[in-house]
Structure 1
Amino acid sequence: MADPFDAALDLLRRLPPSSTQKNLNGIISLRPELEEDLLSSVDVALTSRRCTKSGRDYLCCDYNRDGDSYRSPWSNEFEPPIEPEDAADLIPHGRVRRMEESLNAGFDVYRELYYEGGISSAYLWALDEGFAGVVLFKKASSAGGSAGKGGWDSIHVLEVNESATKRSAHYKLTSTVILDLGMSSAAVDSLELAGNLTRQTQQDLPLNGLRDAEVEQGHMSNIGRMVEDMETRMRNLLQEVYFGKAKDVVGDLRSIQPLSEAERDRAAHKEAISKMNRG
């Protein structure tokens, strides 16, 4: 008999990507014991909340969640509040929190430049020989009113292992982009394009400076470049895979060339073949 967790993942892979959250909730309602494993293994479109202290929006994921509470990167507090003994282990302090604040400030500028809107959030936590974290971006669009919609969700999970001298670090980045596009009109009826793409990269990068502040700034620069490069690469891949392939398929099914031009091309082709045969 198949393992329930594997069966759930297999089922989710075969259902429409745009309905992953709905289907995930349905599976969890049937098998509540799978909730933690599924939420940590299945990528779904990000949701957002508003930080009551700062008034700023932040993104929610499994990495800043404890039960039904989520930690705001702006206030560094869980909302609703959790037990103090749990918060001590889940809330970052010291240099990890300083780097988290720097990442949120830096990616907030990046988001405004590249996304021209949307929401970004970054969360870090300490490891024995370094730290780990996640950088999130979400942009939703309803350009065209009720006829069109679009959603882009980026999830960048990183793990950083520092050398003993803190002169360099090994960075492992796993990135997932969830794309959801759709439109409805009298001309095309209803069209939906949804899916996700995951890529991974690893790099050993130097850290300049001896003071803690310089090492922290080095980490921020390295992470920023890696995330920016990965986002650019994945955007180009999505453009090629989603739109390039879709255009090729539609072109094979039906030509958009006017009938008169198509007839001219066929006649010229036929004439060329005829001349070759006579020769």
Structure 2
Amino acid sequence: MEAAMGLMRRIPPKHTETALSALLSLMPDNSSDLLSQVDQPLQVLCDVECGKEFILCEYNRDADSYRSPWSNKYHPPLEDGSLPSSELRKLEIEANDIFAIYRDQYYEGGISSVYMWEDDNEGFVACFLIKKDGSKTGQGRRGYLEEGAWDAIHVIEMSMKLSVADGHLCNMGRMIEEMESKLRNSLDQVYFGKTREMVCTLRPPSEVAQLRMPDSA
């Protein structure tokens, strides 16, 4: 199991599904551990009734069907699928509308979904998801991303009751914004910063290269 997880950490994200399928066939006894520990790329399905796409994940899944946050119906149809209470459903609808605005402002497009369900402690759990396919924005132009996607998953457990629904949305939104800001700063300073440093070391700018060239006699 340790070797399998080490392999999955080194596999490019676009090959995750293929590699996971191969491991499941080789290690059927560890299928539950593999499926729970390996993060797979988020998938998208269109809600035909509303004409909107929604994100598929374990948190809106029941059997082999997935609940749409727009129509609150399962696809494919499922008669006895679990649904949030009417009060929580109202909060879920509002959260989806607000999170769509957040997605457009910070990600400049993409697909977002919010799912909520009751827990066993008289509270509720909320899952916020965003999927942005960056390869669609470049359209083959030079200097733009050719292939790449960003998947964001935030799971928040609320222990308080739903007496102040607006306060819950504000608190959850603030938490997500702070967490994603820290993540972006970390990526920019550590990964992109180190990449720029290495590129400049291997291939210095033209101004620096001219200064290093010896004067011709």
- Report if TM-score (shorter chain) is over 0.5: yes
* Cα drift, residue 29 of structure 1: 3.3
Task: Tell me which of 41, 44, 51 is aligned to 2:40.
Answer: 44
What is the TM-score of this pair, normalised by structure 1? 0.67
Task: Tell me which of 261, 270, 273 is aligned to 2:211.
Answer: 261
* Cα drift, residue 11 of structure 1: 2.1
- AA partner of residue 245 (structure 1): K
What is the TM-score of this pair, normalised by structure 2? 0.85
Partners in 2 of 1:46 and 1:218 — Cα distance?
A: 29
Q: Secondary structure at the match of 2:147?
A: strand
1:242 aligns with 2:191: yes
Task: Tell me which of 93, 103, 119 is aligned to 2:95.
Answer: 103
Task: Tell me which of 47, 53, 56 is aligned to 1:57.
Answer: 53
Higher share of residues assigned strand: 1
* Cα drift, residue 83 of structure 1: 4.6
For the 8 Å contact 1:72–1:78, the answer to whether it is kept is yes
Which residue of structure 2 lines up, in the alignment, with residue 81 of structure 1? 77
Alignment map for 1:106-117 (pairs within 5 Å): 106-117=98-109
Partners in 1 of 2:36 and 2:63 — Cα distance?
A: 13
Partners in 2 of 1:146 and 1:34 — Cα distance?
A: 44
Partners in 2 of 1:82 and 1:41 — Cα distance?
A: 27
Which residue of structure 2 lines up, in the alignment, with residue 141 of structure 1? 134
Partners in 1 of 2:66 and 2:86 — Cα distance?
A: 20
- AA partner of residue 249 (structure 1): M
Alignment map for 1:113-124 (pairs within 5 Å): 113-124=105-116
1:232 aligns with 2:181: yes
Q: Secondary structure at the match of 1:135?
A: strand
- Change over 3 Å in CA distance of 1:38–1:32 after alignment to 2: same
Partners in 2 of 1:133 and 1:257 — Cα distance?
A: 51
Partners in 1 of 2:3 and 2:159 — Cα distance?
A: 34
Partners in 2 of 1:120 and 1:145 — Cα distance?
A: 25
Structure 1 spans left out of the alignment, 5+ residues? 167-210, 268-279
Which residue of structure 2 lines up, in the alignment, with residue 131 of structure 1? 124
* Cα drift, residue 33 of structure 1: 4.7
* Cα drift, residue 249 of structure 1: 2.0
For the 8 Å contact 1:40–1:62, the answer to whether it is kept is no
Task: Tell me which of 57, 66, 70 is aligned to 1:70.
Answer: 66
Q: Kindly provide the CA deviation profile for residues 22-41 of structure 1, in whole angstroms up to 9, marking residues without a partner as x.
A: 21222223334544433332
Name segments (4+ residues, structure 1) moved above 6 Å: none
* Cα drift, residue 144 of structure 1: 4.7
Task: Mark the structure with the bigger radius of gyration.
Answer: 1
Partners in 2 of 1:146 and 1:26 — Cα distance?
A: 35
CA RMSD in angstroms, aligned pairs only:
2.3
